[in-house]
Structure 1
Amino acid sequence: MFAIDTHAHVFSKNDPCIATARYQPDYDASVSQYLAHLDQHHLSHGVLVQPSFFGFDNHVMLDAIAQHPKRLKGIAVVPYTITINELITLNNQGIVGARINLFGKELPDLTSIEWKSFLNHLSFINWQIELHAPPSYLVQILPYLAEYKLNVVIDHFGRIDPEKGILDPDYQSFLQMLDINQHWIKVSGFYRIGKFPENVARATQAFELLKAKGFLPKMVWGSDWPHTQHESSVNYSQAFETFKQIVTDPEDRKLILGENAKNLFYF
């Protein structure tokens, strides 16, 4: 049976981080540890996501996928100047999408020739684009991406502002912008949208709002293991149990973990 964790990271404390990294791990999160978590929770497959502290150097993730190509796929971080041939090479190595992490960065000009070319390349090779951005950025970016035949995957419920909550006007605008034909939501990273137990309540409310909009077929789950910068407050089992607390219907959980993720990540 397919059951997929669509968001995790692997690294070691000895891997070189980029000079501008806002966070550098002081511990190991190995692929063998990750697979042990999948096995413990009866999950058949996983998707590795390139962490921001490695920049464009995806080799740690690629090495992990190469060891377990039938079980793992990846989302890379690449420069928007990358060539189509370089993207095809990554595609052949198990990469199925590109991540754009905009926390701590300026909003990119998606109308530039380079960005348009990049987005067309992603569409050509049938990759998804994964957005990790605050609601104030999402509401500006999504209209531009609507021009492209791309699956747009939005991390961590759309990163509800911990201070403003779900009633944040930008978050409400983001919810109104969602298009069932293009957008996917990751039911993940609940601990990044406020303090416990408020964060669980917010995540549950966001899930119910999305389900009411008919978005159940476009939601996937991710553990966000090893929960960087939140290691002391959450572990894999807690992340999985909280998912079951947020999504109470077993049939909804089965869809999110199985068919939805299988469709999005081409397992």
Structure 2
Amino acid sequence: MIQPTIGRIDSHAHVFTLDLPMVAGRRYTPAQNAPLSAYLAHLDALGCTHGVLIQPSFLGSDNSFMLQAIAQAAPRLRGVACVTPDISLPELEALDRSGIVGIRLNVIDGTQPDLNTAAWQDLLEKIKSFSWHVEVHCRSNKLSSILVPLLRKQINVVVDHFGRPSDCNHSRDYGFQQLLEWGHSGLVWCKISAVYRTCAHADEGHKFLADTVPKLVDNLGRERLMWGSDWPHTQYEQQINPEYLTAQLNILLQDETLAHAVLWDTPAKFFKFV
């Protein structure tokens, strides 16, 4: 176990079991169960005191399994839900009481919602009233079409997994460079997570992390960055192990001030643990 000197938050993970009803037309079907008990053991092994659960895309807008997990492990967990734009105010209020702190738009390979429609605009107003955020998971070349209407509404936005640049060379990825520019808006946060979804080899991933985080600090500020394990590493279950995550964490821990910010201060406030 990595012993934390402060509280430590894993800001990105999923829980599910294979017998849950999964949506038709999903991008993939997970290969193995990811129950709450295994996730809590994962947190303990990494020295994490808290975690943030993200609704998996293949479960659609049925957030019930995640909500049960949050209730069982409260107050250790928070959640980010997937919802449809016609969700009612009482339903949102119930989610808020259950530890949900935002909604996720996962359009990595799917249909992009038209956020300018009346239904979405109404939902975004409700999101603001709850002081929630919108979490965006898409490839870097799609970031602009999603972030621009959200920022126009003054919505707090969390960008998943470094913005999913096309390869390990962030300097030639236009979407990632845009993310750095949006960082100056004060409305954009970024998750330092899932490097392996951009860089196939561990050594490349560690270099990407070491090279990219200073750029994010310079443009977003350490107060808008947070680390996530991306457990259980869906589609990469066989490649990623605890040693990989420990190596990534150790890169961050080399800078004590940065580590304190991205592992506790920022996510603790943003996800309403404090």
Q: State the TM-score, normalized to the length of structure 1.
A: 0.94
Deviations 1:144-171 (A, max 9, x none): 1123343210100111113874412232
Instruction: Give the letter for the 2:121 counterpart.
Output: K
1:124 equivalenced with 2:113 (yes/no): no
1: distance between equivalents of 2:134 and 2:190?
12
| RMSD of Structure 2 on Structure 1 (CA) | 1.7
Work out the CA distance in 2 between the residues paired with 1:192 and 1:258.
24
CA displacement at 1:181 relative to structure 2:
1.7
Structure 1 residue 205: Cα displacement? 1.9
The yes-or-no answer on 1:222 pairing with 2:234 is: no
Of the three residues 85, 92, 100, the one matched with 2:97 is 92
Is the alpha carbon distance of 1:45 and 1:230 closer, same or farther for their aligned partners in structure 2, counting shifts above 3 Å? same
Residues 29-44 of structure 1: pairs in structure 2 closer than 5 A: 29-44=34-49
Q: Are residues 1:204 and 2:220 paired? A: no
Q: How does 1:118-197 map to 2 (within 5 A)?
A: 118-162=123-167, 165-196=170-201, 197=203
Aligned pair in 2 of structure 1 residues 199, 166: CA closer, same or farther (>3 Å)? farther
Unpaired segments of 5 or more residues in structure 2?
Answer: 1-5
* 8 Å CA contact retained: 1:135, 1:160: yes
Contact conserved, 1:226 with 1:235, CA < 8 A, in 2?
no
Q: State the distance in 1 between where 2:47 and 2:205 align.
A: 26
Counterpart of 1:266 in structure 2 is 272
Count of residues in Structure 1 that have an aligned counterpart in Structure 2: 267
Structure 1 residues 76, 236: CA separation in 2 closer, same or farther (over 3 Å shift)?
farther
- The answer to whether the Cα contact below 8 Å between 2:184 and 2:219 also exists between their aligned partners in 1 is no
Spell out, residue by residue over 1:6-48, the C-alpha distance to the aligned partner (whole angstroms, 9 max, x if none): 1111111222211212211232111111111212222111111
Q: Does structure 2 retain, via aligned residues, the 8 Å contact 1:223–1:236? A: no
Per-residue deviation at 1:255?
1.5
4+ runs deviating over 3 angstroms: 163-166
Identity %: 36
Give per-residue Cα distances to partners, 1:52-107, cap 9 Å, x unaligned: 11011111101111101211110011111211221111111111110000112233
Write the distance in 2 (CA, Å) between the matches of 1:240 and 1:51.
24
Shift of 1:199: 2.8
Conservation of the 8 A alpha-carbon contact between 1:225 and 1:236: no
The C-alpha deviation readout for 1:205-263, integer Å capped at 9, x for no partner, is 22111112252111001100000001111124422421322563122112211111111
TM-score by length of 2: 0.91
Distance 1:141 1:51 in 2: 19
How many angstroms apart in 2 are the aligned matches of 1:169 and 1:123?
29
Task: Determine the C-alpha separation between the residues in 1 that align with 2:55 and 2:147.
Answer: 22
CA distance, structure 1, for counterparts of residue 82 and residue 29 of structure 2:
17
Unaligned runs of at least 5 residues, structure 1? none
